[in-house]
Amino acid sequence: MNPISLTNGIRPVLLRQRTVRDGAGPRVLLLHGMADSSTIWERLFVLAPQRTELRRAEIHTAELPWRGTGPPDWAHRLEPASWLAETLDQLADTVGPADVAVAHSFSAMLLLDLACGASAHTGHRLKGMVLVSPFFRPRPEDFDWDTMTSLPEQFVRTIEEGIRVAAGPRSKPELHRALAERLCETIGPYGWSRFFELYLRTPWLRTKAVRTPVLVVSGAEDRIAVTGEAQDLVTRMPAAALHTIEEAGHFPMAEQPARFADALDGFLRLIPAAPEAAGERPRSTLVEQI
């Protein structure tokens, strides 16, 4: 079994099966970003039954340690990608291996880190990856002192944007900044350091070694993980494609869910079905709380 366990009395990872296969579709795992939760994908589930490949897929979500209510000491691990490796192990042990992982923002960086063999856990062989709003810079000189001084404020504004998107039009904008600052206090210096360390080492990722089909999704109006970085990443992977979603920022799956669902549905057509899928019986919608 894997080493995931209680951390400060909090279960660091919670897995939940959200759909049952309607056919021989792939098993998909959705991974949220920092200070977020699996609710960021909720609008996708409303649209999934209307999309051919999403309807056929078995979709799972994970509540990850860096969620807003996660254990405060998750970032004490110097290799946070190991959390994703263990999450993939837990899913495989419970229902079978994931065919496709869809990861947003911080989790997209971690998944790329795993795929490039940059972390100590490299035993996962996904059939496809979707990196949503990833951070990537190809050259060390792309990071300068202004990056050090301006990125923290951009980070707070992005969390504020996520709160606004999740809350919808009936929320009170004057509360968003205060909530974002409180979440940043929860993330703390170690959580921020894990993010920034991953970002700083992206120039050395062995992206050309990633032969798995990859879809990189970028919001055209993303102000922190800009589309130019997504394009740089795609050009450095042999089986990657970029899909830019107009009128979306850092959270395209929530801001433009129909366009995001179409992009994901199209990508899943490229993924071969799991061999056991056609003969499986439907499972409970609640898989396991780890």
Q: Is 172 helix (H, G, I), strand (E, B) or coil?
A: coil
Least confident of 7-21, 68-82, 99-113, 235-249: 7-21
- pLDDT, residue 129, reads 98
Work out the average pLDDT over 271-283: 54
Report d(CA 243, CA 264) in Å as an integer: 10
Q: Which residues of 213-238 are buried (b: 16+ CB within 10 A; e: fewer)?
A: bbbbbbbebbebbbbebbebbbebbe
Distance between CA atoms of residues 263 and 243, nearest Å:
7
Q: Which domains does the chain have, with CATH numbers?
A: 14-271 (3.40.50.1820)
Q: Read off the pTM.
A: 0.91
Between 16-25, 55-64, 230-239, the lowest mean confidence (pLDDT) is in 16-25
pLDDT tens column, 211-225: 999 999 999 999 999
